[in-house]
A = this chain, B = another copy of it.
Amino acid sequence: MTHGMTHGMTYINVWITECLTDTVKLLVFLTLPLHRDMMMSLDDKGSVQIQTKVLPQDSWTQVSCPCCVSKQVESLVLIQLSDNVQPVTKRWLISLIEASKRHGGAALLAHPGEDECGDVIVVSAPRCTFLKATEDLGLCKKYHNEDMVAFSYHDRDNFSNVDDMQEFLTLAERQYIVKNELDSLQAQKKQRIPGVPEAPGVLEAWENICQKLVRAGVIKDIFPLHDQQRLNDLGRRWYSKKQIWGQPLDAIQSYFGSTVAFYFSFLDFYTWALVPPAFLGLVLTFLLPGGGGVVKEQAVEGVMEDDDDGPSVSGHMVQAVFSMLWSTLFIELWKRRSSSLSHRWGTLNLAERFAGPRPGFQGTLGLNPETGRLEPLFPEWQRQLRVGLVSLPLVGLFMGLVVLGMTGFYRGEALVQGFHQDSGSLFSGALLYLPSMAHIVYTNMLGNVYHAVAMQLTEWENHREESSFQNHHTTKVLLFTFFNNFAVLFHIAFYKQDLPLLRKRLASMLIGNQLMNQCTEVVVPFMVDRFLSAPHKKEQEDDLEMDKLRAQRSLPPFPGLFAEYIELLLQFGYLSLFSCVYPLTAVLLLLNNITEIRGDAYKFCKLFRKPFSAPVSNMGVWQTAFEVLGFVSVMSNCWLLLLSPRVQEFCLEGGISGKNIILFAILVEHVLILVKMILAFMIPDEPDWVRIKREQIEFNSMQALGQQKL
C-alpha cells in the first residue's frame, strides 16, 4: 500500500461512515410509506381539485369574542393522539385548548376530527389570539403608511390587512403561533389528567402540559398541516422547468417560515458569489500557460517532485490572495443582505428575550426581574459555568478522540502492512482491511455517542431561549462534524506537508461528496416519488378531508437544516481553506449548487412533513461559522503558499533561509488578518436604510416610554 493509499483509506473511512448513515436514513425513509397503507396526498400537476378544503365548520369550538367570529376556520396544526386515548382525555384537552388565558387555557380553536373518539385534534386560532401573539413575538408588520412597524395590539387598526389573518400573518407564522400557544399551556394547580392512569397522570403546578402529555403517551405528535394548493403554487414557482433563475423567496418565507427562507436565500447568494472564483479558477487552470490544477495533475499522477513548475505558482498566489479577500467580502455582503431580508420579513425587532422560556427550561419558580412575570428562573452565571467548565472540555475530549482514532488507524495500518510484507499470506492480506474497518466502526460509534452527548449537554446547559439552545447545540455538532471531515486534509497539509496529495484528496472528496449528495438528496427521492408512490395517488382523490390531513403523518418528519448548512460550510471550507491547490473547486461547487437549489426545493415541498418555523432575524450561529472559517482560511492559505514548491525554489535560489521565509509568512499572515478585520469593520453590517428603520423603531419606543407613566 503506497503512502497515498493510506490517506485514501482514512478519507474513504470517513466517507463510508457518512454513506452508511445516509443510507440507513434513506432506507427508513423509503420503507416508511410502504409500511403504512397510504401515501402523501400531494399532487404536483395542480390539475386535481381538492374537494373539501376545510373541515365541517360547525364542529369547531366556539369563540366568545365577537371580533373573532369567522365563517371559515383554517386547519393549521394537527395533534395526533395515541390510538387508545380515552374520549374523556380528549374532551379535557379540547376544553383546555379553547379556554381563555385567564382560565389557564390557550385561547385557541379546536376541532375533534370525525368524532369525539378519533385520535386527532385539529387546532386553529381566533383573530385576537393571533394579534396578541404577534405583538408578543415582536414581529413587524406593514403600517398604513407602508412602513414596517413593530406590531402593537393597542394600535392594531392602523396596520394593513389586520382583519384578514391569512393576509396579515404568513401561514408559517400562524402555525408557529398556534404551536407556541400550545407549548405555553401550564397546569394552574396540581391536578389529575382525566382518563390517564395515576402514575403518569398527575400534573404538578406550573408543569408544562404538552410535554407531560407527550411523556404520558397521550400525544404522539404535533405538526403543522400542509396547504396543498399553496404548496403546488409554490412548487411551480420554485423548481419547475420554467423557473431557472432566482427563487420565490417571499413565498418560501410565507409558506415555510424565515428559518427555511434564510437558508435558501443564503444558498442563492452563495451560489452567485461562487461565480467570480469559478471564473478565476477556469482562467488559472486552462488559460495560463502551463496552468496547474487537474489537467496537470492527471499528467503527473504519482510523480511528486516535478509538479507545479512554470508560472502556475503565480496562479497559486493569485488564488490564495483572491480567496482571502473574496471570503471577507462574501460574508460582509451577506450580512447586509441578511439584515435587509430580515427587515422585509418583519423580524428585525424580535422580542424572544421577553417571551416565556422554552418548554424544556428548568428552574426555580420566581418573578422574572425583567418582565415581572412568574416563571422558572435559572441564573446566567450558572449556565456560563456549565458551558465553560463541562461542555467545553467535553467537546475538546471528543475532538481528541477523533485525532486518537486517526492516529490509531495510521499505526494499525503500518503494523498490518509490516506484517503482510513479512508473511505475505492470504490471511495477512485480509488483515490489511482490518484497520479501515475498525476505523469506520470507531468513527461511526463516536459520532453517534457524540450526537447524544451534545444534545444532553445542551439540554443540561438549560438555555432559556430556543435560539440560544439551537445555537449552542449547532455549535457543538458543527465543530465535531467539521473536525471529522477536515482532519484528514489538515493532517496532509500541516503534518505531511504534501501538496500534490492534498490536491488529489481535495478533488476526490469534492467529487465524491457531491455525487453522493446529489444521489441521496435528489435522484433517489425523485425515483421514489415517481414510481413507488404513484399508484397510491389515484386512491387519494376520493379520500375524506380528515384522512388527507392524517395522511401527512406518514411523511417522514422534517430533518432540520443542519445537514444542508453543514454541507455548505464544508464546501466553503474546501474552497477557502485549500482551493489554492485546486483552482477548479469553485467550478465544481457552482455546478453542484445549481442543482442543489432545485433538489432541496423539491425535497422540502414533496418529501417531508411541514416543519414549525420560529421567526428568526438571521442564520444564527451559521453566519459566525462562515466568518470564523474566513479567518482560518488566511492562516491555511499563508501556510500553503509557504509550502508551494515555487516559493521553496525561490528561497533556495535567493539564498533566503527557511527561518526567514517563515518569519516573512507570519508577518504576511498577521497583516492579512488585520486587513480582513479592517475590511469587516469598514463595511457596515446593514445597509443604511435598514439601520435608519431600526433606529426609527428604537426612537419610537424611547419616545413612547417618555409619554407613559410606569
- Chain A residues within CB distance 8 Å of chain B: 135, 138, 143, 149-150, 152-155, 158, 351, 353-354, 369-371, 379-381, 384, 387-388, 392, 635, 658-659, 662-663, 666, 670, 678, 682, 684, 688, 691-692, 695-696, 699-702, 704-710
Among B158, B662, B682, B704, point to the contact of A662 (Cβ < 8 A).
B662
Are B707 and A700 in contact, with the CB atoms below 8 A? no
Are A370 and B695 in contact, with the CB atoms below 8 A? yes
Contacts of A708 in B (CB 8 A): 152, 154-155, 704, 707-708
Q: How far is the CB of A659 from chain B (nearest CB, A)?
A: 5
**Contacts A354-B702, A658-B659, A701-B705; is A149 near B692 (CB within 8 Å)?**
no
Q: How far is the CB of A390 from chain B (nearest CB, A)?
A: 13
**Contacts A701-B704, A701-B705; is A369 near B150 (CB within 8 Å)?**
no
Determine the distance from Cα of A87 to Cα of B306 in the docked complex, in whole angstroms. Answer: 92
Q: How far is the CB of A250 from chain B (nearest CB, A)?
A: 25
**Contacts A659-B658, A704-B707; is A379 near B688 (CB within 8 Å)?**
yes
Among B150, B354, B370, B709, point to the contact of A155 (Cβ < 8 A).
B709
Are B662 and A699 in contact, with the CB atoms below 8 A? no
Determine the distance from Cα of A249 to Cα of B549 in the docked complex, in whole angstroms. Answer: 68
Determine the distance from Cα of A354 to Cα of B387 in the docked complex, in whole angstroms. Answer: 38
Most B CB atoms within 10 A — which of A143, A155, A370, A696?
A370
Among B369, B379, B705, point to the contact of A152 (Cβ < 8 A).
B705
Determine the distance from Cα of A691 to Cα of B666 in the docked complex, in whole angstroms. Answer: 40
Are A701 and B699 in contact, with the CB atoms below 8 A? no
Could you show 23 A-B contacts with beta carbons less than 8 Å apart? Answer: A143-B710, A149-B710, A150-B702, A150-B705, A152-B705, A152-B706, A152-B707, A152-B709, A153-B706, A154-B709, A155-B706, A155-B709, A351-B702, A354-B702, A371-B699, A380-B684, A380-B688, A381-B684, A388-B682, A658-B658, A659-B659, A701-B701, A708-B708
Determine the distance from Cα of A601 to Cα of B152 in the docked complex, in whole angstroms. Answer: 51
Contacts of A678 in B (CB 8 A): 392
Q: How far is the CB of A58 from chain B (nearest CB, A)?
A: 36
Which chain B residue has the least Cβ–Cβ distance from A659?
A: B658
Are A353 and B695 in contact, with the CB atoms below 8 A? yes
Are B700 and A710 in contact, with the CB atoms below 8 A? yes
Q: How far is the CB of A2 from chain B (nearest CB, A)?
A: 27
Determine the distance from Cα of A369 to Cα of B705 in the docked complex, in whole angstroms. Answer: 20
A-B pairs, top 4 by smallest CB distance, nearest first, are A701-B705, A704-B704, A704-B705, A701-B701
Are B380 and A691 in contact, with the CB atoms below 8 A? yes
Determine the distance from Cα of A490 to Cα of B388 in the docked complex, in whole angstroms. Answer: 36
Q: How far is the CB of A653 from chain B (nearest CB, A)?
A: 18
Contacts of A684 in B (CB 8 A): 380-381, 384
Which chain B residue has the least Cβ–Cβ distance from A370?
A: B695
Q: How far is the CB of A555 from chain B (nearest CB, A)?
A: 39
Are A154 and B707 in contact, with the CB atoms below 8 A? yes
Give 10 new A-B contacts, CB below 8 A, not counting A143-B710, A392-B678: A154-B709, A155-B708, A155-B709, A354-B699, A369-B692, A370-B692, A635-B670, A662-B662, A700-B710, A704-B707
Q: How far is the CB of A634 from chain B (nearest CB, A)?
A: 11
Contacts of A688 in B (CB 8 A): 379-381
Which chain B residue has the least Cβ–Cβ distance from A635?
A: B670
Contacts of A695 in B (CB 8 A): 353-354, 370
Q: How far is the CB of A635 from chain B (nearest CB, A)?
A: 7
Most B CB atoms within 10 A — which of A692, A700, A702?
A702
Q: How far is the CB of A190 from chain B (nearest CB, A)?
A: 31
Which chain B residue has the least Cβ–Cβ distance from A691?
A: B380
Contacts of A699 in B (CB 8 A): 354, 370-371
Most B CB atoms within 10 A — which of A135, A379, A387?
A135
Q: How far is the CB of A284 from chain B (nearest CB, A)?
A: 28
Are A158 and B710 in contact, with the CB atoms below 8 A? yes
Are A384 and B682 in contact, with the CB atoms below 8 A? yes
Are A369 and B696 in contact, with the CB atoms below 8 A? yes
Q: How far is the CB of A629 from chain B (nearest CB, A)?
A: 14
